[in-house]
């Protein structure tokens, strides 16, 4: 196959830039989505100053959240994913919009790393036991909320289980973050989904590919494979059809105005108390750590609204 096949419509000019690519295969019975998220995970590591195991956990969580957010269509759709668990990280929250933006934070950023074996961070131990919640706000009257128990806390398995049990979509999800002392080397993932109409044969085929020792995503990326090439390698279907691609990035839309809405929501009694402090208050955004200062007069103004 020529490399032109991998120049998918919507892809960033430099395929090394973070993006998602989508394809269909096996006669339309399989949807396949892959992502490179190296810059996103590096940015999250920088913002939250995370230790290795937290970088891996949060990086996988941001990457997986973007993968399952790929089907949001409307301008204002958002998806919030939340892990609450009893491991030392405590939990993570991540928000995606329909424009490929993601932001997230861990409850604890500095957790000592343990390993399954040399070089294999034990993310499951750092996350622990708990739940994965997905809230999709698609502009309908009620947001859709699904919650599952964590399977292993290794994140990819947890998303797989969520998709199968909460959204009735049998899927294969793989996620990876690799790093060394200098920072994040590669990050990415893929999601393979069986569409309605998939035959027993299709299911067998995908299961065999998934269980056949397919290499780690980050290994392939380090070897120069783009997300599109990884999908092609995994599916092994000459009829694969790449439908589109789009850039993804870490982006926090916070502003002083949005913050003031949060403060106003504290209620009258709390605002009155805050307005007595001559220094005013300073709030910090969980997602990007930007700080916002509100003087006494500004708090009083919120009281009068």
Q: Taking the complex as a whole, how short is the minimal distance between the CB of residue 287 and Zn ion, in angstroms?
A: 4
Question: Given the complex with Zn ion, which of 225 and 287 has the nearer CB atom?
Answer: 287
Residues 274-293 close enough to bind Zn ion by CB under 5 A: 285, 287-288, 290
Question: Given the complex with Zn ion, which of 104 and 124 has the nearer CB atom?
Answer: 104
Question: Residue 26's closest CA among 235, 243, 245?
Answer: 235
Judged by CB under 5 A, how many residues of this single chain contact Zn ion?
Answer: 6
Q: Would you count residue 225 as binding Zn ion (CB under 5 A)?
A: no
- In this structure, the strands spanning 249-250 and 101-106 are parallel
- How far is Cα of residue 134 from the mean position of the Cα atoms in its chain? 11
- Point out which residues pair with 36 in neighbouring strands: 19, 188
- How far is Cα of residue 7 from the mean position of the Cα atoms in its chain? 24
Question: Given the complex with Zn ion, which of 7 and 286 has the nearer CB atom?
Answer: 286
Q: Would you count residue 47 as binding Zn ion (CB under 5 A)?
A: no
Q: Taking the complex as a whole, how short is the minimal distance between the CB of residue 152 and Zn ion, in angstroms?
A: 31
Question: Given the complex with Zn ion, which of 95 and 123 has the nearer CB atom?
Answer: 95
Residues 138-167 close enough to bind Zn ion by CB under 5 A: none
Q: Would you count residue 252 as binding Zn ion (CB under 5 A)?
A: yes
Q: φ and ψ at 104, to 5 degrees?
A: -165, 170
**What does the DSSP assignment read for 139-159?**
SSSS-EEEEEE-SSSSSHHHH
Question: Given the complex with Zn ion, which of 165 and 284 has the nearer CB atom?
Answer: 284
End-to-end CA distance of the chain: 63
Contact footprint for Zn ion (CB under 5 A): 252, 254, 285, 287-288, 290
């Amino acid at each position: 196959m020529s490399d032109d096949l991998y120049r998918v419509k919507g892809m960033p000019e430099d395929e090394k830039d973070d993006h998602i690519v989508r394809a269909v295969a096996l006669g339309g019975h399989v949807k396949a989505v892959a992502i490179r998220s190296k810059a996103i995970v590096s940015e999250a590591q920088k913002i939250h100053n995370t230790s290795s195991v937290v970088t891996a956990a949060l990086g996988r969580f941001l990457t997986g959240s973007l993968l399952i957010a790929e089907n949001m269509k409307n301008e204002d759709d958002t998806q919030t994913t939340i892990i609450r668990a009893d491991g030392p990280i405590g939990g993570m929250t991540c928000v995606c919009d329909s424009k490929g933006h993601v932001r997230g934070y861990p409850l604890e950023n500095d957790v000592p790393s343990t390993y399954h074996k040399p070089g294999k961070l034990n993310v499951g131990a750092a996350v622990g036991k708990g739940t994965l919640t997905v809230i999709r706000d698609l502009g309908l009257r009620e947001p859709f909320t699904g919650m599952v128990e964590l399977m292993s806390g290794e994140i990819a398995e947890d998303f797989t289980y969520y998709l199968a049990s909460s959204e009735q979509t049998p899927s294969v999800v793989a996620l990876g973050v690799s790093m060394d002392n200098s920072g994040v080397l590669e990050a990415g993932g893929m999601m393979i989904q069986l569409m309605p109409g998939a035959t027993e044969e299709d299911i067998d085929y995908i299961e065999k590919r998934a269980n056949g020792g397919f290499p780690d995503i980050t290994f392939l990326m380090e070897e120069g494979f783009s997300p599109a090439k990884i999908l092609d390698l995994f599916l092994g279907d000459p009829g694969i059809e790449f439908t589109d691609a789009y850039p993804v990035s870490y982006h926090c839309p916070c502003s002083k105005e949005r913050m003031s809405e949060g403060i106003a929501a504290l209620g009258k009694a709390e605002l009155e108390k805050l307005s007595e402090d001559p220094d005013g208050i300073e709030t910090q955004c969980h997602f990007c750590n930007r700080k916002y200062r509100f003087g006494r007069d500004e708090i009083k103004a919120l009281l009068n609204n």
